[in-house]
Structure 1
Amino acid sequence: MPKIAVNFFTEDLTYNLKQKTRIREWLLSTITAEGYVLEELNFIFCSDAYLLHMNQQFLDHDTYTDVITFDNAETEKTIAGDIFISIERIQENAKTFKGTVLDELCRVMVHGTLHLLGYKDKTKAAKTLMTEKEDHYLSALKASA
């Protein structure tokens, strides 16, 4: 079986993602289901401070966030991107929403991936659709367990 081009890195902290193969396959099936081809998808796990700096530097936002997505695709219907995720935000959100860190991390990973697939979340209607897509693909992940 060929290697799936979904990569996991850490920037300024240590985090060991569990179930990497299953998550890679799930993200690939999500991308394929949306009619896209995966070229390369990099997830970079980092701290709140690191992501805040990126938010300030690249997006001119002076706020904490859980995820920032950079689309590097050069052709239509191709996924090539970098998704930066604050593990500290994920841990905090998991407590707030009374879920597991892995469940929250998967939600944010698919959220960033959906941005690369063209979904937006700036309007109420767009945010509703994004959440429906997240829930749909998260249920597919749970079904594969």
Structure 2
Amino acid sequence: MILKNAPVVQFSFNGNVALSERKRLKAFIISLFKENEQPLDLLHYTFCTDEEILAINQQYLNHNYYTDIITFDLRERSTDAMVGEIFIGVDTVRSNAQFLGEPFLRELHRVIFHGVLHLCGYNDKSEEEQAIMRKKEDECLLKYFR
């Protein structure tokens, strides 16, 4: 009998952030992949400073600006279970939360879920895609914070 490895979600903290209930958050993230019928092998989040995310943006995407999230699908084949890397710019999330009048932790979780949605096939290039993405983010926040 062959046993399949359980999905793994990891967090690394380079930025000024603390996450409570990490075990619950990891289980919720895994459930989002299941709901979207996307097998998950490994997902790693790195919470970093603006300078770190700018360097990643410049090195890997040839973008010269700050962002709240960068998501990498690291699978060799699209049929493989998901292996992903998500970088979250904590400083930008904090600024966005303040600008939007949202609590920081709520905005941080929105961005965490946003990365999962990208890896599950949702995009946000067009206005229509952005509306769908925002709706899905809101659904995730409602489920998680109920």
Relative to the length of structure 1, the TM-score reads 0.90
Residue of 127, 130, 137 corresponding to 2:130: 127
Separation in structure 1 between the aligned mates of residue 102 and residue 127 of structure 2, nearest angstrom: 24
Which residue type is aligned with residue 36 of structure 2?
A: E
Q: How many residues align?
A: 141
Separation in structure 2 between the aligned mates of residue 29 and residue 137 of structure 1, nearest angstrom: 11
* Counterpart in the other structure of 2:64: 62
Identical columns (%): 35
1:65: Cα distance to partner?
0.4
Residue of 19, 22, 32 corresponding to 1:17: 19
Which residue type is aligned with residue 128 of structure 1?
A: A
Gaps of 5+ in 2: none
Structure 1 residue matching 2:124: 3-state secondary structure: coil
Contact conserved, 1:4 with 1:24, CA < 8 A, in 2? no
1:22-78 deviation digits (Å, cap 9, x = unpaired): 111111111110011210110000000110111111111111100000101234262
Following TM superposition, where does structure 1 have runs of at least 4 consecutive aligned residues deviating by more than 6 angstroms? none
Gaps of 5+ in 1: none
Which residue type is aligned with residue 90 of structure 1?
A: V
CA-based RMSD of the aligned residues comes to: 1.7
Separation in structure 1 between the aligned mates of residue 135 and residue 80 of structure 2, nearest angstrom: 21
In the alignment, does 2:82 pair up with 1:100?
no
Which residue type is aligned with residue 81 of structure 1?
A: G
Structure 1 residue matching 2:44: 3-state secondary structure: strand
Structure 1 residue matching 2:125: 3-state secondary structure: coil
Relative to the length of structure 2, the TM-score reads 0.89
* Counterpart in the other structure of 1:36: 38
